[in-house]
């Protein structure tokens, strides 16, 4: 169990393992995404410059898949915890799916972007927008009014993740850090636990996942198992201590 005291601020980082029980493949597992596609082919600015249609084929296949999945009990458990903790709760996900939101989470920082958002490839004034366009054979990639091609609003390798300022502030503040279903190999997310531990004060760090992550040394406790099974019975919220006159 993870005890959460009334004043504890909780930082939760989720990775692909969080959505595995919903039927979405992870990246580095046995049938992981990077076993079928190479990162440099489909998830980097160079890949986009070299073959934008192949990039859109990759993300179109993922959009198609994402339309068919539902949250698992792990997503609902985090949405319930958010209800209980309010602004003491911070959820940062590396996942681009919308399963946290579908389970009721409201405060979600998607540091790697969102699968159902696109944006212009140029830095024109058009902001990212909701989009579930998919490349059908023969189709042309849509263009922005400025003439730039429309690209997935995903943080590719070599690009800067989104929301880093508020993530850093939440890491500074937290007293409980939990990572769920992430192999701990991709930066900067893999170092969040280290940042949390390095700041002043004391923070308790936990990992929940199917196998030990690469950054295992930074966790006080590692709880091995599927997040959909472990998360629903993991949190023990402690009631505020009553002082003498309140006890009556």
From 11-19, 164-172, 198-206, 235-243, give the range in contact with ligand APR by CB under 6 A: 11-19
Question: Reduced to 3 states, what is the DSSP secondary structure of residue 201?
Answer: coil
Question: Any contact of residue 227 with ligand APR (CB under 6 A)?
Answer: yes
Reply yes or no on whether 100 is catalytic.
no
Site size for ligand APR (CB under 6 A): 23
Q: Write the CA distances from 33 to 13, 42, 75, 223, integer angstroms.
A: 20, 11, 21, 25
Choice between 172 and 229, CB closer to ligand APR? 229
CB–CB of 27/33 below 8 Å?
A: yes
Q: Of 141, 144, 168, 210, which lies in the binding site for Zn ion, with binding defined by CB under 5 A? A: 144
Q: Of 5, 46, 139, 146, which lies in the binding site for Zn ion, with binding defined by CB under 5 A? A: 146
Q: Where are the beta strands (DSSP E) in the chain?
A: 2-4, 10-14, 89-93, 108-110, 113-120, 129-130, 150-154, 176-180, 204-209, 221-224, 235-237
Q: Of 78, 167, 181, 203, which lies in the binding site for ligand APR, with binding defined by CB under 6 A? A: 181
Residues forming beta bridges with residue 66, ordered by sequence position: none
- The whole-angstrom separation of Cα 63 and Cα 115 is 6
Residue 215 interaction partner, one of Zn ion, ligand APR, none, beta carbon < 5-8 Å per kind: none
User: Hey, what are 179's tokens?
Assistant: 């990572």
Residue 60 interaction partner, one of Zn ion, ligand APR, none, beta carbon < 5-8 Å per kind: none
- The whole-angstrom separation of Cα 81 and Cα 142 is 40
- The whole-angstrom separation of Cα 241 and Cα 68 is 45
Question: Any contact of residue 223 with ligand APR (CB under 6 A)?
Answer: no
Choice between 107 and 149, CB closer to Zn ion? 149
Find tokens 């009334």 and name the residue: 6
Taking the complex as a whole, how short is the minimal distance between the CB of residue 149 and ligand APR, in angstroms?
A: 21
Choice between 15 and 88, CB closer to ligand APR? 15
Interface residues toward Zn ion, by CB under 5 A:
120, 122, 124, 126, 144, 146, 148
Interface residues toward ligand APR, by CB under 6 A:
15-17, 20-21, 26-29, 32, 94, 112, 181-183, 185-186, 209-211, 213, 226-227
Catalytic residues: 112
């Amino acid at each position: 169990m993870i005890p959460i005291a009334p004043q504890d601020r909780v930082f939760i980082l989720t990775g692909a393992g969080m959505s595995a029980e919903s039927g979405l493949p992870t990246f580095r597992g046995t049938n992981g995404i990077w076993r079928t596609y190479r990162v440099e082919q489909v998830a980097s600015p160079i890949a986009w410059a070299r073959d934008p249609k192949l990039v859109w084929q990759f993300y179109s296949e993922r959009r198609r898949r994402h339309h068919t999945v539902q949250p698992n009990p792990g997503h609902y458990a985090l949405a319930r915890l958010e209800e209980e903790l309010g602004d003491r709760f911070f959820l940062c996900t590396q996942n681009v799916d919308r399963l946290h939101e579908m389970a009721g989470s409201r405060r979600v920082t998607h540091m790697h972007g969102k699968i159902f958002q696109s944006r212009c490839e140029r830095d024109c004034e058009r902001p990212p927008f909701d989009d579930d366009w998919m490349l059908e054979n023969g189709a042309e990639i849509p263009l922005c009014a400025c003439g730039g091609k429309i690209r997935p609003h995903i943080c590719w390798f070599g690009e800067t993740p989104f929301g880093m300022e508020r993530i850093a502030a939440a890491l500074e503040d937290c007293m409980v850090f939990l990572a769920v279903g992430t192999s701990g190999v991709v930066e900067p997310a893999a170092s969040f636990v280290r940042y949390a531990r390095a700041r002043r004060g004391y923070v308790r760090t936990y990992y929940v996942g199917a196998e030990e992550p690469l950054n295992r040394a930074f966790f006080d406790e590692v709880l091995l198992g599927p997040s959909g099974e472990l998360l629903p019975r993991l949190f023990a919220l402690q009631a505020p201590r009553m002082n003498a006159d309140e006890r009556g």
